[in-house]
Chain A
């Protein structure tokens, strides 16, 4: 029902790649693509099948006549240990247009993360998606509006007219990294043998439940399947794409591989020795299964599982783990069956290996960047406040820094628990004037100068520029620095000053105190809350700040013991997660109320209830327009109630990369994660 095509115009406008792209689009002969860099690949492909017809571009047809492959794979083919490239590729390989030029094969990409069990770089670089988005300045994983979506692992997908049934087609001929074909059996295995197994999953994942029921899986044929939901579910397409919920690891599993560990398919006698070897107790089969690839923990696809245990776990990603060097240290090697090619027919990725190490301390990572020991680093671990340090050392370390858009559109936000336990405080917090006053009390320019090196502009939490929902009014809502008006609003709420004229008093005569508890999610939160606390003191609100341990914060949160918190906000878009998730991360009691249909929890305010109604619409409707309208209304209500107070947007995130790395520098207008998503077409310049 939809067409997914590359809109070349967008790319042209965005990247200024007019010449390259038109050349690709118009060129029928292979000569146009055989730049010097691609020559080795083309040589390799000399004896490949010709006349292979793969991909349509808007303005013409590219005919790939032959495929190229990495020299290391060609050697294996010559040896006979690997089938030829045309047999490894799917029937219809996906053509990925290199951002700058057709690259050359080889090299090892070095990167480090601070967390041995998780990596924000690899999870984007070495990841394949069910549906893909075309890289562009507005492309954001949780922001699918205004983004071109195109096939990934799924070749096609459509929704029934009533919105309850989705049909998906797997890419024909797609293979796991061990050479086995990807079929609907892999999806069936996930839905029926894993998700429906009560020992493995007592509950069904929230994102798959509609109308209180789990979806019914129907295999149409080897590569087409259907999911029938109990209620309309138009949003699924977006969810399939967002890293938070969907992804390959949450939709399909390599059944041929996992069946040997599944007790429904194999004798426990044969499984037990494997479990013992991996350190599981005899009664721990479910845990063994979850940690051996059946888990959902890898919200970023299959990366985490394949990294943790076991090495031979098949993936569809561009790279797979070859060796666990040590705890948190991995060597990845190219997946010989990866389904993408460049415009010259060369199989991606270009880079052979990724070496991922772990640093225990952020400063060691900083120093490794300075010494040029890392080829790419960005996102969570490269702080904007360190930008001056990097600029002054970039020639020494031979690296460049891209000031990319941060996936955290709002690097600093403050949000309320809309139903704190203290009844007096609850009434005050639910009065929209409090949020408005506290927002007006902040001198956002000061935050920008002190915390963000002068980058960014003052903004309320609202859709960002480039989003079809963007509106200057929403962004400016109570975002000016106006302490007088703030005081007037608080006066109107009847909050009198105390005898010393120092703080305001609550209606019950106590000092008006709103404790701000948080944990160090992002570097700006500690100075940010200290700063905000001073501004709020100026309008008579006592906001003591307290940083907590993350686990402790969540424990307090679950017990509804928090009132005000600071964070960063990643997606003020069609999936406005903080509201869309139904205040589940701000007001646990409301969320409980919504989830239990009003049986438990605390009844939300009228505005809160309206957000829940809109949430239902956003989830159900198959119509993109209707979804957009509902989302817009959510933001309009937010602009008045200010459940979440924003500070600034357009604060960039530095992304550091080696000067030897090609096809990356041009992406500086992208979101940082979008840059990382294009990892398979990076290459090392000679």
Chain B
């Protein structure tokens, strides 16, 4: 077990290094660099870029160095916990991300809870009532959630909120709480703003989970031990929850770990449309502007979450289902 953990950690470390390089390379892949994005932004505003300024920036941002040297420079500092400064925002990367990471995790964790709370019961219901009207209706409804492009759904919901309730849209706080310190009022305000993004982000994940749950329970219900138990007169309810549901929930638990990063990544578009102060839109902007340090750090961070998440999932799975041996789960 110890050996396994060690091997596993080493491997995770390696993956992280590769990820950090990939994050850097991905941002450098498009032609040009941050300065081109900067020029285009200036030009849009009606200003001709000044050559003196560009020359100064190019040197100061180290953009005249070859890519691998830029990377090493950044990676060297990152090891010491210093992710450099964002060229675009002209602020330390760590400061920028810290601001948004908390809200991102809160919102996406809420979306995950929504997904599980909705999907697991529906999945069980659909399995126990296979091919009933309820099964079909739930399937179609959940699939419609999956099938609707998130950006359009988010926009329509926003317009609806404005028209019906005259509600303030965009962001996660009302104007009066944006810059307030954390307080009971601010938490309540945040809660009031959460449902729309959480539902939109959650909807797309729900259908898939319902499907996994439903087929999992169905598979188990057909198995011999269930038939036997039923024949012996076990109560249907106890029968269902004692084993089949517990077994069927395994694949879902195995995804818990990387569900969070996946939700963050998948929720980016929704976050952009709803103008949420989360890392998704920041990442998008960093990528567009080729703001390497910021973009690279976020990509690495999300990758890190995935790697850790997978690890957590595997551990959970081993714990829940003793049949799984750790040798196999590498």
Question: Is chain B a partner of chain A in the same complex?
Answer: yes
Could you list which residues of chain A lie within 8 angstroms of chain B, going by C-beta atoms? 110, 115-118, 120, 142, 200-207, 243-245, 278-281, 284, 286-287, 290-291, 295-297, 299, 308-309, 323, 325-329, 331, 355, 357-361, 363-365, 367-368, 370-371, 373, 380, 396, 407-408, 519, 521-522, 549-556, 558, 570-571, 577, 581, 584-585
What 1/0 mask marks residues of chain B from 30 to 74 whose CB sits below 8 Å from any chain A CB? 111100110111111111101111011101110000000000010
Which of A203, A204, A373 meets B175, CB within 8 Å?
Answer: A373
Q: For the complex, what is the distance from the CA of A296 to the CA of B167, rounded to whole Å?
A: 41
* Residue pair A202, B55 in contact (C-beta under 8 Å): yes
* Residue pair A551, B40 in contact (C-beta under 8 Å): yes
Cβ of B170 under 8 Å from chain A:
yes
Shortest beta-carbon distance, B43 to chain A, in Å?
7
* Residue pair B48, A555 in contact (C-beta under 8 Å): no
Could you list which residues of chain B lie within 8 angstroms of chain A, going by C-beta atoms? 30-33, 36-37, 39-48, 50-53, 55-57, 59-61, 73, 77, 82-85, 88-96, 99-100, 155, 158-159, 162, 166-171, 175, 178-179, 271-277, 281-282, 285, 288-290
* Residue pair A577, B48 in contact (C-beta under 8 Å): yes
Q: Which residues of B contact A522 (CB under 8 A)?
A: 44
* Residue pair B47, A279 in contact (C-beta under 8 Å): no
Q: Which residues of B contact A358 (CB under 8 A)?
A: 275
* Residue pair B48, A552 in contact (C-beta under 8 Å): no
Shortest beta-carbon distance, B327 to chain A, in Å?
44
**Which residue in chain A gives the minimum CB-CB distance to B53?**
A296
Q: For the complex, what is the distance from the CA of A550 to the CA of B275, rounded to whole Å?
A: 22
Q: Which residues of B contact A110 (CB under 8 A)?
A: 175
Q: For the complex, what is the distance from the CA of A577 to the CA of B42, rounded to whole Å?
A: 14
Which of B47, B59, B271 meets A243, CB within 8 Å?
Answer: B47
* Residue pair B89, A549 in contact (C-beta under 8 Å): no
* Residue pair B179, A297 in contact (C-beta under 8 Å): no
Q: For the complex, what is the distance from the CA of A202 to the CA of B175, rounded to whole Å?
A: 44
* Residue pair A120, B45 in contact (C-beta under 8 Å): yes
* Residue pair B56, A202 in contact (C-beta under 8 Å): yes
Q: For the complex, what is the distance from the CA of A540 to the CA of B159, rounded to whole Å?
A: 44
Shortest beta-carbon distance, A295 to chain B, in Å?
8
Which of A279, A325, A331, A361 meets B92, CB within 8 Å?
Answer: A279
Q: Which residues of A contact B178 (CB under 8 A)?
A: 325-326, 329, 357
Q: For the complex, what is the distance from the CA of A72 to the CA of B91, rounded to whole Å?
A: 31
Q: Which residues of A contact B51 (CB under 8 A)?
A: 203, 205-206
Name the residue in B32, B55, B61, B168 with the highest tally of chain A Cβ atoms < 10 Å from its Cβ: B32
Q: Which residues of A contact B88 (CB under 8 A)?
A: 117
* Residue pair B61, A287 in contact (C-beta under 8 Å): yes
Can you pick out 11 interface pairs between chain A and chain B where the beta carbons lie within 8 Å of each other?
A: A117-B90, A202-B56, A203-B51, A203-B52, A205-B51, A286-B60, A291-B85, A299-B47, A371-B168, A555-B36, A585-B43
Which of A243, A368, A550, A571 meets B41, CB within 8 Å?
Answer: A550
* Residue pair A205, B159 in contact (C-beta under 8 Å): no
Q: For the complex, what is the distance from the CA of A38 to the CA of B175, rounded to whole Å?
A: 30
Shortest beta-carbon distance, A312 to chain B, in Å?
16
* Residue pair B53, A297 in contact (C-beta under 8 Å): yes
Shortest beta-carbon distance, B59 to chain A, in Å?
6
Q: Which residues of A contact B90 (CB under 8 A)?
A: 117, 291, 308-309
* Residue pair B158, A363 in contact (C-beta under 8 Å): yes
* Residue pair B52, A296 in contact (C-beta under 8 Å): yes
* Residue pair A296, B50 in contact (C-beta under 8 Å): yes
Given contacts A200-B56, A279-B92, A329-B179, contact A553 B40 (CB under 8 A): yes
Which of A201, A297, A360, A585 meets B281, CB within 8 Å?
Answer: A360
* Residue pair B91, A206 in contact (C-beta under 8 Å): no
**Which residue in chain A gives the minimum CB-CB distance to B39?**
A554
Name the residue in A281, A355, A361 with the highest tally of chain B Cβ atoms < 10 Å from its Cβ: A361
* Residue pair B179, A550 in contact (C-beta under 8 Å): no
Shortest beta-carbon distance, B200 to chain A, in Å?
14
Q: Which residues of A contact B288 (CB under 8 A)?
A: 549, 551
**Which residue in chain A gives the minimum CB-CB distance to B56?**
A201
Q: Which residues of A contact B162 (CB under 8 A)?
A: 367, 370-371
Given contacts A371-B168, A549-B288, A551-B32, contact A327 B52 (CB under 8 A): no
* Residue pair A554, B56 in contact (C-beta under 8 Å): no
Name the residue in A110, A115, A331, A551 with the highest tally of chain B Cβ atoms < 10 Å from its Cβ: A551
Given contacts A284-B60, A286-B59, contact A551 B275 (CB under 8 A): no
Q: For the complex, what is the distance from the CA of A521 to the CA of B44, rounded to whole Å?
A: 5
**Which residue in chain A gives the minimum CB-CB distance to B46?**
A570
* Residue pair A371, B166 in contact (C-beta under 8 Å): yes
Given contacts A361-B272, A552-B31, contact A279 B52 (CB under 8 A): no
* Residue pair A327, B91 in contact (C-beta under 8 Å): yes
Shortest beta-carbon distance, A214 to chain B, in Å?
10
Q: For the complex, what is the distance from the CA of A553 to the CA of B37, rounded to whole Å?
A: 9
Q: For the complex, what is the distance from the CA of A309 to the CA of B96, rounded to whole Å?
A: 13
Given contacts A327-B282, A367-B170, A555-B36, contact A207 B91 (CB under 8 A): no
Q: Which residues of A contact B290 (CB under 8 A)?
A: 551
Q: For the complex, what is the distance from the CA of A280 to the CA of B83, rounded to whole Å?
A: 10
* Residue pair B95, A279 in contact (C-beta under 8 Å): yes
Q: For the complex, what is the distance from the CA of A142 to the CA of B282, rounded to whole Å?
A: 33
Given contacts A368-B170, A521-B44, contact A326 B55 (CB under 8 A): no
Query: 12 new A-B pairs (CB below 8 Å) besides A284-B60, A327-B100, A554-B40?
Result: A201-B55, A202-B56, A205-B52, A244-B48, A279-B83, A281-B77, A297-B57, A308-B90, A308-B91, A521-B43, A551-B40, A571-B46
Q: For the complex, what is the distance from the CA of A514 to the CA of B160, rounded to whole Å?
A: 44
Which of A245, A359, A571 meets B50, CB within 8 Å?
Answer: A245
Given contacts A244-B47, A327-B99, A552-B31, contact A116 B89 (CB under 8 A): yes
* Residue pair A361, B48 in contact (C-beta under 8 Å): no
Q: Which residues of A contact B159 (CB under 8 A)?
A: 367
Q: For the complex, what is the distance from the CA of A286 to the CA of B92, rounded to whole Å?
A: 16
Q: Which residues of B contact A201 (CB under 8 A)?
A: 52-53, 55-56
Which of B50, B83, B179 meets A205, CB within 8 Å?
Answer: B50
Q: Which residues of A contact B93 (CB under 8 A)?
A: 279
* Residue pair B169, A309 in contact (C-beta under 8 Å): no
* Residue pair A204, B100 in contact (C-beta under 8 Å): no
**Which residue in chain A gives the minimum CB-CB distance to B90?**
A308
Lowest 6 CB-CB distances: which A-B pairs, in order? A279-B92, A550-B40, A364-B170, A555-B32, A325-B179, A287-B60
